[in-house]
Amino acid sequence: MKTWVTSTFDWFFLISANFFILFCIAIAASRFGKIRLGGPDAKPQYNYGGWLAMLFAAGVGIGLMFFGVYEPLTHTLNSPLGIDPQNIAVAREAGMSATIFHWGLHAWAIYGLVGLALAFFCFNRQMPLTLRSAFFPLFGKAVWGPFGHFIDVMAVLATIFGLSTSLGFGAEQIAAGLHHLFNIPASNLTKILLIVVIMIMALISVIAGLDKGIKRLSELNMGMATMLCLFVLVTGPTLLIFEQLWHTTINYLVYLPRFSNWIDRTDTAFYHGWTIFYLAWWISWSPFVGMFIARISYGRTIREFFAWVLLMPTIISIIWMSTLGGTGLDQYFNLGVKALAEMPPELSLYVMLEGLPFAGIVSAISVVLIAIFFVTSADSGSLVIDTMTAGGKMNAPVVQRIFWCTATGLVAIALLVGGGMASLQALTIAIGLPFCLVLLLMTVSLYKGLKEEPVP
Protein backbone atom coordinates (compact mmCIF):
# COMPACT_ATOMS: atom_id res chain seq x y z
CA MET A 1 0.00 0.00 0.00
CA LYS A 2 2.88 2.36 0.84
CA THR A 3 4.48 1.80 -2.59
CA TRP A 4 1.15 2.19 -4.41
CA VAL A 5 0.23 5.42 -2.61
CA THR A 6 3.62 7.09 -3.07
CA SER A 7 3.94 6.16 -6.77
CA THR A 8 0.33 6.63 -7.92
CA PHE A 9 -0.51 9.85 -6.08
CA ASP A 10 2.91 11.54 -6.16
CA TRP A 11 1.57 14.49 -8.20
CA PHE A 12 -1.41 14.90 -5.89
CA PHE A 13 0.72 15.12 -2.74
CA LEU A 14 3.20 17.61 -4.21
CA ILE A 15 0.61 19.88 -5.85
CA SER A 16 -1.38 19.92 -2.59
CA ALA A 17 1.70 20.72 -0.47
CA ASN A 18 2.68 23.56 -2.83
CA PHE A 19 -0.87 24.92 -2.61
CA PHE A 20 -0.81 24.79 1.21
CA ILE A 21 2.31 27.01 1.28
CA LEU A 22 0.79 29.56 -1.09
CA PHE A 23 -2.49 29.51 0.86
CA CYS A 24 -0.76 30.14 4.20
CA ILE A 25 1.38 32.97 2.80
CA ALA A 26 -1.67 34.56 1.13
CA ILE A 27 -3.72 34.43 4.35
CA ALA A 28 -0.85 35.89 6.40
CA ALA A 29 -0.27 38.72 3.90
CA SER A 30 -3.96 39.55 3.48
CA ARG A 31 -6.21 41.60 5.75
CA PHE A 32 -7.00 38.36 7.61
CA GLY A 33 -3.48 38.49 9.05
CA LYS A 34 -4.68 41.07 11.60
CA ILE A 35 -7.25 38.71 13.13
CA ARG A 36 -6.28 37.65 16.66
CA LEU A 37 -6.92 34.07 17.77
CA GLY A 38 -9.32 34.40 20.68
CA GLY A 39 -10.66 37.83 19.78
CA PRO A 40 -9.29 41.41 19.80
CA ASP A 41 -8.57 41.40 23.55
CA ALA A 42 -6.97 37.94 23.79
CA LYS A 43 -3.53 37.77 25.40
CA PRO A 44 -0.96 35.05 24.55
CA GLN A 45 -0.67 32.30 27.16
CA TYR A 46 3.03 31.67 26.52
CA ASN A 47 6.03 33.85 25.77
CA TYR A 48 7.88 33.44 22.48
CA GLY A 49 10.52 31.12 23.97
CA GLY A 50 8.02 28.71 25.51
CA TRP A 51 5.80 28.81 22.43
CA LEU A 52 8.70 28.03 20.07
CA ALA A 53 9.98 25.24 22.33
CA MET A 54 6.57 23.54 22.36
CA LEU A 55 6.31 23.75 18.54
CA PHE A 56 9.06 21.11 18.46
CA ALA A 57 7.58 19.02 21.26
CA ALA A 58 5.08 17.24 19.04
CA GLY A 59 7.35 14.60 17.50
CA VAL A 60 9.43 16.81 15.19
CA GLY A 61 12.40 16.95 17.58
CA ILE A 62 13.00 13.19 17.40
CA GLY A 63 13.06 13.42 13.61
CA LEU A 64 15.73 16.12 13.63
CA MET A 65 17.89 14.04 15.98
CA PHE A 66 17.38 10.90 13.88
CA PHE A 67 17.99 12.40 10.42
CA GLY A 68 20.23 15.41 11.24
CA VAL A 69 23.47 13.70 10.13
CA TYR A 70 22.09 10.87 8.01
CA GLU A 71 19.90 12.71 5.53
CA PRO A 72 22.33 15.41 4.23
CA LEU A 73 25.00 12.75 3.63
CA THR A 74 22.57 10.29 2.00
CA HIS A 75 21.20 12.92 -0.40
CA THR A 76 24.73 14.05 -1.28
CA LEU A 77 25.92 10.52 -2.09
CA ASN A 78 22.67 9.68 -3.92
CA SER A 79 22.02 12.99 -5.61
CA PRO A 80 18.44 14.05 -6.47
CA LEU A 81 17.32 15.80 -9.67
CA GLY A 82 19.67 13.72 -11.81
CA ILE A 83 22.75 15.57 -10.51
CA ASP A 84 26.06 13.74 -10.94
CA PRO A 85 27.25 12.65 -7.44
CA GLN A 86 30.85 12.80 -8.71
CA ASN A 87 30.50 16.58 -8.85
CA ILE A 88 30.84 16.82 -5.07
CA ALA A 89 30.31 20.59 -4.75
CA VAL A 90 27.00 20.56 -6.65
CA ALA A 91 25.93 17.27 -5.04
CA ARG A 92 26.43 18.80 -1.57
CA GLU A 93 24.36 21.84 -2.51
CA ALA A 94 21.52 19.69 -3.81
CA GLY A 95 21.76 17.18 -0.95
CA MET A 96 21.50 19.80 1.78
CA SER A 97 18.74 21.67 -0.10
CA ALA A 98 16.77 18.43 -0.42
CA THR A 99 17.04 17.89 3.34
CA ILE A 100 15.70 21.37 4.13
CA PHE A 101 12.98 20.91 1.52
CA HIS A 102 11.70 17.96 3.54
CA TRP A 103 11.92 19.71 6.92
CA GLY A 104 11.16 23.31 5.93
CA LEU A 105 8.21 25.27 4.58
CA HIS A 106 6.30 22.36 3.05
CA ALA A 107 6.10 20.47 6.34
CA TRP A 108 5.24 23.47 8.47
CA ALA A 109 2.65 24.86 6.04
CA ILE A 110 0.72 21.59 6.47
CA TYR A 111 0.95 21.84 10.26
CA GLY A 112 0.20 25.57 10.22
CA LEU A 113 -2.93 25.15 8.10
CA VAL A 114 -4.45 22.62 10.51
CA GLY A 115 -3.26 24.57 13.56
CA LEU A 116 -4.81 27.83 12.35
CA ALA A 117 -8.12 26.22 11.35
CA LEU A 118 -8.52 24.50 14.72
CA ALA A 119 -7.41 27.55 16.73
CA PHE A 120 -9.69 29.93 14.79
CA PHE A 121 -12.87 27.85 15.08
CA CYS A 122 -12.17 26.97 18.71
CA PHE A 123 -11.03 30.34 20.10
CA ASN A 124 -12.96 32.73 17.82
CA ARG A 125 -16.13 30.71 17.21
CA GLN A 126 -16.24 28.89 20.59
CA MET A 127 -16.49 25.46 18.96
CA PRO A 128 -14.96 22.24 20.37
CA LEU A 129 -11.26 21.74 19.69
CA THR A 130 -11.82 18.88 17.23
CA LEU A 131 -11.20 18.55 13.51
CA ARG A 132 -14.91 18.49 12.66
CA SER A 133 -15.28 22.08 13.90
CA ALA A 134 -13.07 23.31 11.04
CA PHE A 135 -15.71 22.20 8.50
CA PHE A 136 -18.71 23.99 9.96
CA PRO A 137 -18.81 26.77 7.28
CA LEU A 138 -19.00 24.08 4.57
CA PHE A 139 -21.31 21.47 6.08
CA GLY A 140 -23.13 23.27 8.87
CA LYS A 141 -24.80 21.10 11.51
CA ALA A 142 -23.84 17.96 9.57
CA VAL A 143 -20.42 18.14 11.29
CA TRP A 144 -22.09 16.97 14.51
CA GLY A 145 -23.34 13.80 12.79
CA PRO A 146 -21.73 10.78 11.07
CA PHE A 147 -19.54 12.95 8.79
CA GLY A 148 -17.99 14.66 11.81
CA HIS A 149 -17.57 11.34 13.61
CA PHE A 150 -15.71 9.96 10.58
CA ILE A 151 -13.36 12.97 10.40
CA ASP A 152 -12.53 12.81 14.11
CA VAL A 153 -12.04 9.02 14.14
CA MET A 154 -9.66 9.33 11.17
CA ALA A 155 -7.82 12.09 13.03
CA VAL A 156 -7.46 9.92 16.13
CA LEU A 157 -6.13 6.98 14.08
CA ALA A 158 -3.73 9.22 12.14
CA THR A 159 -2.47 10.68 15.43
CA ILE A 160 -1.99 7.28 17.09
CA PHE A 161 -0.09 5.80 14.16
CA GLY A 162 1.87 8.98 13.42
CA LEU A 163 2.86 9.17 17.08
CA SER A 164 3.76 5.46 17.10
CA THR A 165 6.13 6.09 14.18
CA SER A 166 7.79 8.91 16.10
CA LEU A 167 8.09 6.72 19.19
CA GLY A 168 9.51 3.93 17.03
CA PHE A 169 12.25 6.25 15.72
CA GLY A 170 13.05 7.31 19.28
CA ALA A 171 13.25 3.73 20.54
CA GLU A 172 15.51 2.72 17.62
CA GLN A 173 17.92 5.61 18.22
CA ILE A 174 18.06 5.29 22.02
CA ALA A 175 18.62 1.53 21.75
CA ALA A 176 21.37 2.12 19.17
CA GLY A 177 22.96 4.72 21.47
CA LEU A 178 22.91 2.39 24.50
CA HIS A 179 24.47 -0.38 22.39
CA HIS A 180 27.08 2.02 21.02
CA LEU A 181 28.00 3.39 24.46
CA PHE A 182 27.45 0.45 26.83
CA ASN A 183 27.16 -2.57 24.51
CA ILE A 184 23.56 -3.19 25.61
CA PRO A 185 21.91 -5.35 22.91
CA ALA A 186 19.64 -3.27 20.62
CA SER A 187 17.04 -6.07 20.63
CA ASN A 188 13.26 -5.84 20.49
CA LEU A 189 13.19 -6.52 24.24
CA THR A 190 15.41 -3.48 24.85
CA LYS A 191 13.19 -1.31 22.65
CA ILE A 192 10.03 -2.53 24.41
CA LEU A 193 11.54 -1.79 27.82
CA LEU A 194 12.57 1.66 26.58
CA ILE A 195 9.03 2.41 25.39
CA VAL A 196 7.61 1.26 28.73
CA VAL A 197 10.02 3.43 30.74
CA ILE A 198 9.48 6.46 28.51
CA MET A 199 5.70 6.07 28.63
CA ILE A 200 5.83 5.99 32.45
CA MET A 201 7.74 9.29 32.34
CA ALA A 202 5.21 10.62 29.83
CA LEU A 203 2.37 9.62 32.15
CA ILE A 204 3.89 11.73 34.92
CA SER A 205 4.13 14.69 32.52
CA VAL A 206 0.58 14.15 31.24
CA ILE A 207 -0.80 14.08 34.79
CA ALA A 208 1.12 17.30 35.58
CA GLY A 209 -0.63 19.01 32.65
CA LEU A 210 0.36 21.31 29.78
CA ASP A 211 1.99 24.13 31.77
CA LYS A 212 3.82 22.15 34.46
CA GLY A 213 4.66 19.08 32.40
CA ILE A 214 4.95 19.53 28.64
CA LYS A 215 6.02 23.20 28.68
CA ARG A 216 8.88 22.65 31.14
CA LEU A 217 10.12 19.53 29.37
CA SER A 218 9.94 21.31 25.99
CA GLU A 219 12.01 24.23 27.30
CA LEU A 220 14.54 21.79 28.78
CA ASN A 221 14.65 20.02 25.41
CA MET A 222 15.29 23.19 23.44
CA GLY A 223 17.99 24.23 25.89
CA MET A 224 19.80 20.88 25.59
CA ALA A 225 19.40 20.78 21.80
CA THR A 226 20.82 24.31 21.55
CA MET A 227 23.80 23.31 23.69
CA LEU A 228 24.42 20.24 21.51
CA CYS A 229 24.26 22.37 18.36
CA LEU A 230 26.66 24.95 19.84
CA PHE A 231 29.04 22.20 20.97
CA VAL A 232 29.23 20.77 17.44
CA LEU A 233 29.62 24.30 16.02
CA VAL A 234 32.54 25.17 18.34
CA THR A 235 34.39 21.83 18.34
CA GLY A 236 33.62 20.92 14.72
CA PRO A 237 34.69 22.68 11.50
CA THR A 238 33.35 26.07 12.66
CA LEU A 239 34.20 28.15 9.59
CA LEU A 240 32.93 25.46 7.25
CA ILE A 241 29.65 25.27 9.21
CA PHE A 242 29.11 29.03 8.93
CA GLU A 243 29.86 28.81 5.22
CA GLN A 244 27.50 25.82 4.95
CA LEU A 245 24.78 27.75 6.77
CA TRP A 246 24.94 30.61 4.29
CA HIS A 247 25.04 28.35 1.23
CA THR A 248 22.25 26.12 2.55
CA THR A 249 19.92 29.10 3.02
CA ILE A 250 20.57 30.43 -0.49
CA ASN A 251 20.55 27.03 -2.18
CA TYR A 252 17.29 26.03 -0.48
CA LEU A 253 15.58 29.00 -2.11
CA VAL A 254 17.31 28.36 -5.45
CA TYR A 255 16.42 24.65 -5.54
CA LEU A 256 12.91 25.12 -4.09
CA PRO A 257 11.15 25.39 -7.50
CA ARG A 258 12.93 22.28 -8.83
CA PHE A 259 12.08 20.15 -5.80
CA SER A 260 8.50 21.47 -5.91
CA ASN A 261 8.09 20.35 -9.52
CA TRP A 262 6.19 17.10 -10.18
CA ILE A 263 6.45 16.98 -14.00
CA ASP A 264 8.89 14.60 -15.74
CA ARG A 265 10.92 13.79 -12.63
CA THR A 266 13.80 11.47 -13.49
CA ASP A 267 14.97 10.94 -9.89
CA THR A 268 12.19 8.45 -9.14
CA ALA A 269 13.88 6.72 -6.20
CA PHE A 270 14.46 10.00 -4.37
CA TYR A 271 11.15 11.53 -5.43
CA HIS A 272 9.00 8.60 -4.26
CA GLY A 273 11.19 7.18 -1.50
CA TRP A 274 11.88 10.48 0.22
CA THR A 275 9.83 13.51 -0.92
CA ILE A 276 6.42 11.88 -1.40
CA PHE A 277 6.98 9.69 1.65
CA TYR A 278 7.71 12.78 3.76
CA LEU A 279 4.73 14.77 2.44
CA ALA A 280 2.34 11.89 3.13
CA TRP A 281 3.94 11.48 6.56
CA TRP A 282 3.54 15.19 7.43
CA ILE A 283 -0.08 15.14 6.26
CA SER A 284 -0.85 12.09 8.40
CA TRP A 285 0.82 13.84 11.36
CA SER A 286 -1.09 17.08 10.79
CA PRO A 287 -4.05 16.39 13.14
CA PHE A 288 -1.60 15.67 15.96
CA VAL A 289 0.88 18.51 15.41
CA GLY A 290 -1.77 20.95 14.17
CA MET A 291 -4.02 20.48 17.17
CA PHE A 292 -1.12 20.83 19.58
CA ILE A 293 0.00 24.04 17.83
CA ALA A 294 -3.59 25.34 18.03
CA ARG A 295 -3.71 24.55 21.73
CA ILE A 296 -0.66 26.72 22.50
CA SER A 297 -1.33 29.62 20.09
CA TYR A 298 -4.16 31.47 21.83
CA GLY A 299 -3.77 35.24 21.66
CA ARG A 300 -1.53 35.38 18.56
CA THR A 301 -2.52 37.25 15.40
CA ILE A 302 -2.73 35.13 12.25
CA ARG A 303 0.23 37.00 10.74
CA GLU A 304 2.29 36.40 13.88
CA PHE A 305 1.14 32.77 13.92
CA PHE A 306 2.43 32.06 10.42
CA ALA A 307 5.64 34.06 10.92
CA TRP A 308 6.54 31.78 13.79
CA VAL A 309 4.99 28.49 12.69
CA LEU A 310 6.34 28.65 9.11
CA LEU A 311 9.55 30.66 9.27
CA MET A 312 11.09 29.96 12.70
CA PRO A 313 11.05 26.14 12.46
CA THR A 314 12.44 26.37 8.91
CA ILE A 315 15.29 28.62 10.10
CA ILE A 316 16.01 26.29 13.03
CA SER A 317 16.03 23.29 10.67
CA ILE A 318 18.54 25.07 8.41
CA ILE A 319 20.81 25.82 11.39
CA TRP A 320 20.49 22.28 12.78
CA MET A 321 21.07 20.45 9.50
CA SER A 322 23.91 22.78 8.46
CA THR A 323 25.67 22.22 11.78
CA LEU A 324 25.24 18.48 12.31
CA GLY A 325 24.89 17.53 8.65
CA GLY A 326 27.70 19.90 7.60
CA THR A 327 30.02 18.33 10.20
CA GLY A 328 29.12 14.84 8.96
CA LEU A 329 29.83 15.85 5.36
CA ASP A 330 33.19 17.32 6.37
CA GLN A 331 34.14 14.13 8.22
CA TYR A 332 33.15 11.95 5.27
CA PHE A 333 34.76 13.92 2.43
CA ASN A 334 37.70 15.64 4.15
CA LEU A 335 38.58 13.29 7.03
CA GLY A 336 37.72 9.98 5.37
CA VAL A 337 35.16 8.80 7.94
CA LYS A 338 33.46 6.38 5.54
CA ALA A 339 31.65 4.65 8.42
CA LEU A 340 29.09 7.47 8.36
CA ALA A 341 27.68 6.12 5.10
CA GLU A 342 27.92 2.48 6.17
CA MET A 343 26.09 2.73 9.50
CA PRO A 344 22.29 2.50 9.89
CA PRO A 345 20.59 5.91 10.29
CA GLU A 346 20.04 5.52 14.04
CA LEU A 347 23.83 5.37 14.57
CA SER A 348 24.88 8.26 12.32
CA LEU A 349 24.68 10.91 15.07
CA TYR A 350 26.90 8.88 17.42
CA VAL A 351 29.46 8.11 14.69
CA MET A 352 29.70 11.83 13.87
CA LEU A 353 30.18 12.71 17.56
CA GLU A 354 33.09 10.24 17.76
CA GLY A 355 35.12 12.68 15.67
CA LEU A 356 34.66 15.44 18.26
CA PRO A 357 36.06 15.90 21.80
CA PHE A 358 34.31 14.28 24.81
CA ALA A 359 32.52 11.91 22.42
CA GLY A 360 31.36 9.49 25.14
CA ILE A 361 29.91 12.18 27.39
CA VAL A 362 28.22 14.07 24.56
CA SER A 363 26.77 10.86 23.10
CA ALA A 364 25.35 9.97 26.52
CA ILE A 365 23.80 13.44 26.79
CA SER A 366 22.37 12.97 23.29
CA VAL A 367 20.67 9.74 24.42
CA VAL A 368 19.08 11.68 27.29
CA LEU A 369 18.01 14.44 24.89
CA ILE A 370 16.36 11.91 22.55
CA ALA A 371 14.62 10.35 25.56
CA ILE A 372 13.17 13.71 26.60
CA PHE A 373 12.02 14.38 23.01
CA PHE A 374 10.46 10.94 23.24
CA VAL A 375 8.58 11.95 26.41
CA THR A 376 7.34 15.27 24.99
CA SER A 377 6.11 13.47 21.86
CA ALA A 378 4.24 10.91 23.94
CA ASP A 379 2.65 13.34 26.38
CA SER A 380 1.69 15.96 23.78
CA GLY A 381 0.26 13.22 21.55
CA SER A 382 -1.74 11.76 24.42
CA LEU A 383 -3.06 15.22 25.24
CA VAL A 384 -4.20 15.72 21.63
CA ILE A 385 -5.87 12.29 21.37
CA ASP A 386 -7.56 12.88 24.72
CA THR A 387 -8.90 16.24 23.53
CA MET A 388 -10.29 14.77 20.31
CA THR A 389 -11.92 11.76 21.99
CA ALA A 390 -13.40 13.96 24.73
CA GLY A 391 -15.32 15.96 22.13
CA GLY A 392 -12.91 18.91 22.16
CA LYS A 393 -12.75 19.44 25.92
CA MET A 394 -9.34 20.87 26.84
CA ASN A 395 -9.59 19.78 30.48
CA ALA A 396 -10.79 16.19 30.25
CA PRO A 397 -10.44 13.88 33.29
CA VAL A 398 -6.86 12.82 34.06
CA VAL A 399 -7.82 9.14 33.87
CA GLN A 400 -8.58 9.59 30.15
CA ARG A 401 -5.13 11.08 29.53
CA ILE A 402 -3.60 8.10 31.34
CA PHE A 403 -5.62 5.69 29.19
CA TRP A 404 -4.56 7.26 25.87
CA CYS A 405 -0.91 7.59 26.91
CA THR A 406 -0.85 3.89 27.84
CA ALA A 407 -2.76 2.84 24.71
CA THR A 408 -0.40 4.74 22.41
CA GLY A 409 2.63 3.06 24.00
CA LEU A 410 1.03 -0.38 23.54
CA VAL A 411 0.25 0.36 19.86
CA ALA A 412 3.86 1.45 19.30
CA ILE A 413 5.12 -1.78 20.88
CA ALA A 414 2.70 -3.93 18.84
CA LEU A 415 3.67 -2.33 15.53
CA LEU A 416 7.39 -2.36 16.36
CA VAL A 417 7.33 -6.08 17.21
CA GLY A 418 4.88 -6.97 14.44
CA GLY A 419 6.74 -5.44 11.54
CA GLY A 420 9.39 -2.99 12.70
CA MET A 421 9.71 0.55 11.36
CA ALA A 422 8.45 -0.53 7.92
CA SER A 423 5.00 -1.34 9.30
CA LEU A 424 4.88 1.91 11.28
CA GLN A 425 5.79 4.00 8.24
CA ALA A 426 3.51 2.16 5.80
CA LEU A 427 0.43 2.62 7.97
CA THR A 428 1.20 6.31 8.42
CA ILE A 429 1.51 6.80 4.65
CA ALA A 430 -1.74 4.98 3.93
CA ILE A 431 -3.63 7.36 6.22
CA GLY A 432 -1.95 10.37 4.59
CA LEU A 433 -3.84 10.00 1.28
CA PRO A 434 -7.43 10.48 2.53
CA PHE A 435 -6.25 13.16 4.90
CA CYS A 436 -4.81 15.19 2.05
CA LEU A 437 -8.35 15.51 0.68
CA VAL A 438 -9.54 16.53 4.14
CA LEU A 439 -6.92 19.32 4.29
CA LEU A 440 -7.88 20.65 0.85
CA LEU A 441 -11.49 20.90 2.02
CA MET A 442 -10.23 22.58 5.19
CA THR A 443 -8.65 25.45 3.20
CA VAL A 444 -12.03 26.25 1.63
CA SER A 445 -13.83 26.07 4.96
CA LEU A 446 -11.22 28.19 6.74
CA TYR A 447 -11.37 30.87 4.04
CA LYS A 448 -15.17 31.01 4.34
CA GLY A 449 -14.88 31.32 8.10
CA LEU A 450 -12.27 34.09 7.94
CA LYS A 451 -14.41 36.10 5.48
CA GLU A 452 -17.17 36.23 8.09
CA GLU A 453 -14.85 37.39 10.88
CA PRO A 454 -14.60 41.13 11.66
CA VAL A 455 -11.10 42.40 10.80
CA PRO A 456 -9.58 45.08 13.10
H/E stretch holding 374 = helix 359-389
Residue 456 lies inside a defined structural domain of this protein: no
177 vs 189: CA distance, rounded Å: 15
Residue 141 lies inside a defined structural domain of this protein: yes
Domain at 14, CATH number: 1.20.1740
Q: What is the pLDDT of residue 84?
A: 87
Q: What is the pLDDT of residue 57?
A: 63
Q: Smallest Cα–Cα separation from 323: which of 250, 251, 246?
A: 246
Residue type, 119: A
Residue 98 lies inside a defined structural domain of this protein: yes
Residue 387 lies inside a defined structural domain of this protein: yes
Average pLDDT over residues 7-25: 94
Residue 37 lies inside a defined structural domain of this protein: yes
C-alpha separations of 305 from 44, 79, 117, 448 in Å = 11, 35, 12, 19
Q: Smallest Cα–Cα separation from 49: which of 262, 215, 203, 239?
A: 215
Expressed in percent and rounded to 5, the helix, strand and coil fractions of the chain are 80, 0, 20
For residue range 171-222, what is the model confidence (pLDDT) as tens digits?
888 888 888 888 888 888 888 898 888 888 888 877 776 556 667 777 787 8
Please report the DSSP string for 256-290 in residue order: HHHHT--SS-S-HHHIIIIIIHHHHHHHHHHHHHH
Q: Smallest Cα–Cα separation from 287: which of 182, 161, 397?
A: 161
Residue 369 lies inside a defined structural domain of this protein: yes
Neighbours of 344 (CB within 10 A): 11
Could you say which DSSP state residue 356 is in? Answer: S
329 vs 326: CA distance, rounded Å: 5
Average pLDDT over residues 217-235: 88
Residue 290 lies inside a defined structural domain of this protein: yes
Our count of domains for the chain comes to 1
Residue 165 lies inside a defined structural domain of this protein: yes
Domain that residue 12 falls in: 2-451
Q: What is the pLDDT of residue 379?
A: 77
Neighbours of 146 (CB within 10 A): 8
Q: What is the pLDDT of residue 34?
A: 93
Neighbours of 418 (CB within 10 A): 9
Check whether 341 has a pLDDT greater than 80: yes
For residue range 66-83, what is the model confidence (pLDDT) as tens digits?
888 999 999 999 989 888
Three-class secondary structure of residue 390 per DSSP: coil
